């Protein structure tokens, strides 16, 4: 079991308090001790404070309680938390918002920022059974690609489609649908022939329950 580093906790207690411009007296009043006790804690000279006390101070200082306890995590109080919001479902023909769908994201991960995402409603069955007509695809805005992943893209300024992008050793691009019987693989393309609009990261597959 890792030994508690009271000196580190003390340094972080002081840093957090001073960052928020909170006096020793105010901190002491919050947890029911005098300012000299707070000073001793900040110097790491006592082990007589308890985790609930640190949690109260973390709330007062608006910092992550795990950080205050000496763990190797960000100071940000939102670290590790998820938040629910909504993202727009876009009609790609008109660029209009036709509805919104729930989106859960980690507030401490920059790439999870809702502004990096949008959604579309599938207009064909090319990616069935994963994504059929009317199903929602969550798209992460992206203009490049990683081989063998699935993207929303355009071919030579055509209409947006969803396909798995496969690049061979000679640089040639194949676009593969899941429903290959009705949507044959498109071959002999190059990167100049396609425009990546975003990566498909999740689907809301209602058609599976029809």
Q: Answer yes or no: is pLDDT of 160 > 70.
A: yes
Q: What is the pLDDT of residue 179?
A: 95
Sequence-distant (6+) residues with CB within 8 A of 15 are none
Half-sphere exposure in the Cβ direction for 124 (13 Å, CA): 13
Q: H-helix or E-strand containing 165?
A: strand 161-167
Give the chain's mean pLDDT. 90
- Give 120's pLDDT tier (boundaries 50, 70, 90): very high
Mean pLDDT of 6-31: 93
Q: What is the pLDDT of residue 205?
A: 79
Mean pLDDT of 170-180: 95
Q: Which domains does the chain have, with CATH numbers?
A: 6-68 (1.10.260.40), 82-209 (2.10.109.10)
Mean pLDDT of 1-11: 80
Q: At which residue do the structure tokens 């502004």 appear?
A: 115
Q: Answer yes or no: is pLDDT of 209 > 80.
A: no
Mean pLDDT of 140-169: 93
Angle at 13 between CA 8 and CA 15, to 5 degrees: 95
Q: What is the pLDDT of residue 132?
A: 93
- Give 5's pLDDT tier (boundaries 50, 70, 90): confident
Q: Between 66 and 161, where is the model more confident?
A: 161
Cα-flanking dihedrals φ and ψ of residue 199, to 5°? -95, 135
Pairing relationship of beta strands 82-91 and 117-121 according to DSSP bridges: parallel
Question: By C-alpha distance, which of 186, 196, 183, 202 is closest to 125?
Answer: 183
Q: What is the pLDDT of residue 1?
A: 45
Q: Which residues pair with 110 in a beta bridge?
A: none
pLDDT > 70 in the chain, percent: 95
Q: Answer yes or no: is pLDDT of 3 > 90.
A: no
Q: What is the pLDDT of residue 2?
A: 57
Could you tell me the two tokens for 48?
A: 């007589």
Mean pLDDT of 32-39: 92
């Amino acid at each position: 079991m890792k030994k508690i580093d009271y000196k580190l906790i003390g340094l972080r207690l002081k840093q957090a308090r001073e960052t928020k411009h909170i006096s020793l007296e105010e901190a002491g009043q919050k947890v029911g001790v005098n300012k000299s006790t707070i000073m001793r804690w900040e110097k790491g000279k006592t082990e007589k404070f308890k985790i609930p006390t640190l949690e109260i101070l973390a709330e007062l200082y608006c910092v992550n309680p795990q950080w205050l306890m000496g763990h190797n995590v960000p100071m940000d109080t939102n670290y590790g938390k998820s938040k629910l919001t909504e993202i727009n479902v876009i009609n790609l023909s008109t660029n209009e918002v036709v509805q919104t769908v729930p989106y859960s994201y980690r507030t401490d991960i920059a790439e999870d920022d809702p502004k990096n995402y949008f959604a579309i409603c599938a207009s064909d069955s090319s990616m069935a059974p994963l994504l059929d007509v009317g199903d929602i695809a969550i798209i992460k805005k992206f203009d490049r690609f990683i081989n063998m992943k699935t993207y929303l893209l355009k071919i030579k300024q055509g209409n947006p489609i969803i396909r798995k992008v496969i690049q061979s050793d000679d640089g040639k691009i194949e676009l593969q649908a899941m429903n290959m019987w009705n949507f044959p693989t498109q071959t002999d393309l190059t990167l100049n022939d396609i425009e990546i609009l975003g990566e498909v990261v999740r689907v809301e597959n209602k058609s599976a329950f029809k």
